[in-house]
Structure 1
Amino acid sequence: TNVEGDFLDLVRLELNPKNPDEYGTPDGWQAFTHRTETIAIKGGPDQMVEIRETRWGPVAEEPLLGGPVALRWTALDPEAVDLGLVWMDQARSVWDALAVATRAGAPPSNVLLADAEGHIAWTYMGRIPVRRGLDGSVSVSWADGRTGWTGFIPPDDLPRVIDPPAGYLVSANHRMTDDTYPHVIGHAFANGYRAYRISERLRAMERVREPDLLALQLDTTTELHEFYRDLIRRLLTPEVLAQHPELAEAREAVEAWDGRAEKDSRGVALLTAFRRSLAASVFAPFLQGCREQDPAFAYDGDLDTPLRTLLTEQAPGTLPDPARFADWHAFLLHELERTVATLKADYGLSRVDALAWGVMNRVRMAHPLSDTIPLVGRWLNMAEEAAPGCGQCVRVLSGSLAASERMVVSPSHHSDAIFHMPGGQSGHPLSPHYRDQHRNWSQGLPTPLLAGRAVHNLTFRPEPASARS
């Protein structure tokens, strides 16, 4: 699974005021290296792209805060990609597999391992930089030599867990190391709600079978939204509802919520929209300066930790738009009223407590060509439908984020294995197999991993050598 780590730094370049084709390095001014990339265009002339290189990597096409930056990225390092994983099929224990995984060059990933003796392990795979003088959270100059990268974390120093006391391992794109680990892995990991829920379900299991683990992958419990439900409960007291009777349906919506994000769950759509509205309004004063410096700035970090802290403390100094609102209570009431009105208008509702989650949360799987040729979309795209799950659910589904695969396999029990994939096994729109897997993936119906009895045969006939000359 994805580490959600930070393996790229934007190195701020100091240009020579007397020669803009030189940049500062610990060894003095150094000239940019220039090269030309040729991109062949079918049916048109080749496109030439001029690249400027530094000792740290290519110069980014877009400046950062008005200045040039170089990309120092592990993916551009020749050492970062190799064929080391081919030795994994020689591993006979988790210790053998750890040695292979931690030395292989590949995109950094979480690796979970198990062997025939019942041992389990977790580690990182791929090259992760050792930073000096910086943590990678901001762009700085490396010209004086005090900041930069000092190679990659040695394989034996990569973090690992072997045979934990709990008897299971969980990886859900969340942070896997604590503050005692000496190297920077990342700054914007996924929050821990999915990992916590997976652990909670696994702890409750005794005799685990394949359907149990498929059910775990389809779990739609979303504890993250409980905070926003309780916030609305505290906000909409009987006294407030007496003054704002139109918000009674909002109170009824959150009271009707079942704690899940199923297609027919009521209340979670309001909670989701309220959370988004609060994040935009509460963070606006803090992010205004960033957007003034860079109009394209977007906050892409942990949303709920700072948001929940601000909403819990409700300090007068952090009140958004104090010229308009007397206190946090007035602000929150306004945000809720606006959220309810927006949902009603967007979905044509008379009452917000009638809004089912599946009306808002949809599966939209479009073929790339459908944007270019809209008329062919009806043949190329998968059918749009209501969907269970959410961004913080084990059954992750939010916007373009969804499970690209689900699989449950127990070695030596392949006949009981379960496999899910969206779309189908064929890429040909006229094939009966173009959509043959999508229904079971979307509805969570178990699909055997093994193909079963052969129904079709596909024969490949090599073209004679004489025909190719």
Structure 2
Amino acid sequence: EGNIGYTSTGRIPVRAKGKGTVPVIGWDSEYEWQGWIPFDQLPQVYNPESGYIVTANNKVVSDKYPFFLSSSWAPPYRAERIEELMQQLIENEDGLTIEHMADIQGDQISLQSIELLPYLKTIQAEDLESDVGEAALQHLKTWDGSMNENSVAATIYATWFHQLGLVIFEDDLRGNVFEQFADRKHASFLANILSDKNNPWCDNVLTVPYEDCLKAATMALDRALEFLEKEFEGPIPFISFRTNVDGWVWGDIHKTIYSHNPFSEVLPLRTVFHREISSGGGSYTVNVGPYKFSEPYSQIYVPSYRQIVDLSDWTKSVFMHTTGQSGNVFSNHYDDLIERHQAMEYLPMTFGRADVRGDVLVLKSR
């Protein structure tokens, strides 16, 4: 009682050579496994000094860890934000409540955007070709990194970040290599690149003269603003938000997609089975709203199940799941949890026999 901990269970091979990320020769012993990582050397934490444990798909071992586990860790931004919020709660000495945990699960501040925002703010409106550059930069001046669905700054930042990846990498990487790299690694790599103004990655090797990182960032913002003007143009040119930057809210282009396989691809059936909803968050927020680099702004992954458990009083525990409890498209419960999930609402969890007795379905043979 009163202890906390976790351990990474399962069998992980100790490799004589290589990391298992690519095919290797199999006709000699050079790459044979040397057994399994001993259980007591697997990643584990027990009663840490901090008094809490945070994991968010981030790397959970130091660089000194003697065994190779994975190369697919998520960047540290989400875990660092949770740490930040936990420290704030501890310093306030208000205790930790269900409501506090719900606030953390719903948090949409992106530390990744805060990290790169200074580079975006160095861009001057007069260096942009876009006519809406000044208005766009104004939205970024006081932005706190929130990827709220009603944020204009989030829209501008996210599209700039996407275009920056294209500007910096598309001349050096090609095809699937570029897309796979961009989807998995480019966030942390871009931060390292921009820290050196004259980093050669910023130069387009296919053009002259030499471009530094400020030039690359400026080109990316021009591309982003051009994209957004077209995106918000609408079917009627004079009734649109094309040049009204104030109307470029994040939720209008960032949508959670609940596709049905295969009926979302069948036009007459799409309207019956397919669901979409405007959403906030981003790839690096605690309330994660990720999308593929190759398919920007279409969120196809969600934190589908949320749960907060009060071990001192189980009856206070809550949960939420999307999309609905029924797989029957004609049921009211097919999609009735989508909006509630999006709004960070929760449902009570029931544990006692008396609490569930009235909802028991009894099947009797005839």
Structure-2 residue corresponding to 1:220 = 108
CA contact (8 A) 2:169 2:178 kept: no
Greater C-alpha radius of gyration:
1
What secondary structure sits across from 2:229 in the alignment?
A: helix
Identity percentage of aligned residues: 24
Q: What does residue 363 of structure 1 align with?
A: 256
Aligned residue in 2 for 1:298: 180
Instruction: Answer whether contact 1:267 1:353 (CA < 8 A) is retained.
Output: no
**1:458 corresponds to 2:361:** yes
Match of 1:65 in 2: none
1:363-394 superposed Cα distances (whole Å, 9 cap, x missing partner): 22122242354333333334x22112211110
- Three-state SS of the structure 2 residue aligned to 1:298 is helix
2:37 alignment partner AA: I
Equivalence for 1:320: 204
User: Counterpart in 1 of 2:167?
Assistant: 281
Residue 277 of structure 1 deviates from its aligned partner by 1.2
Equivalent residue of 1:135, what SS? Answer: coil
**Structure 2 CA distance for partners of 1:278 and 1:169, relative to 1, 3 Å:** same
Structure having greater relative contact order (Cα 8 Å, sep ≥ 6):
2
1:387 matched to which residue of 2? 279
Say whether residues 1:339 and 2:224 are aligned partners. Answer: yes
* 1:249 aligned residue: 135
Partner residue in 1 for 2:153:
267
Q: Cα gap change, 1:246/1:361 in structure 2, threshold over 3 Å: closer, same or farther? A: closer
Cross-structure match for 1:122: 6
Choose the corresponding residue for 2:98, options 207, 210, 226: 210
User: 2:58 corresponds to which residue?
Assistant: 174
CA contact (8 A) 2:167 2:219 kept: no
Cα deviation for residue 430 of structure 1 reads: 2.6
Deviations 1:303-354 (A, max 9, x none): 1222122222133643123624443244332221111001110222213343
**Which is richer in strand?**
1
Structure 2 counterpart of 1:52:
none
Listed one character per residue, the Cα deviations across residues 1-37 of structure 1 (whole Å, up to 9, x for unaligned) are xxxxxxxxxxxxxxxxxxxxxxxxxxxxxxxxxxxxx
CA separation of 1:152/1:462 partners in 2, compared to 1, >3 Å: closer, same or farther?
Answer: farther
Give unpaired runs (5+ residues) of structure 2.
Answer: 234-241, 291-298
What number of residue pairs does the alignment pair up? Answer: 340
Equivalent residue letter for 2:99:
P
Alignment partners' CA distance in 1, 2:199 and 2:255: 39
The corresponding residue for 2:293 is none
Shift in alpha-carbon separation, 1:410–1:372, aligned structure 2, 3 A: same
Residues 193 and 129 of structure 1, relative CA distance in 2, 3 Å threshold? same
For residues 363 and 177 of structure 1, the distance between their equivalents in structure 2, rounded to whole angstroms, comes to 32
Separation in 1, partners of 2:317, 2:243: 46
Q: Deviations over 1:203-224 (max 9, x none)?
A: 2224111111111100111121
The answer for the alignment partner of 2:317 in structure 1 is: 417
| Contact 1:263-1:388 at 8 Å conserved across structures | yes
* 1:173–1:189 contact (8 Å) kept in structure 2: yes
Instruction: Pick from 43, 50, 56 the counterpart of residue 159 of structure 1.
Output: 43
* Partner-residue secondary structure (3-state), 1:125: coil
Indicate the SS of the match to 1:390: coil
The alignment yields a C-alpha RMSD, in angstroms, of 2.6
Asked if the contact 2:170/2:178 (under 8 Å) is kept, the reply is: no
Distance 2:62 2:198 in 1: 30
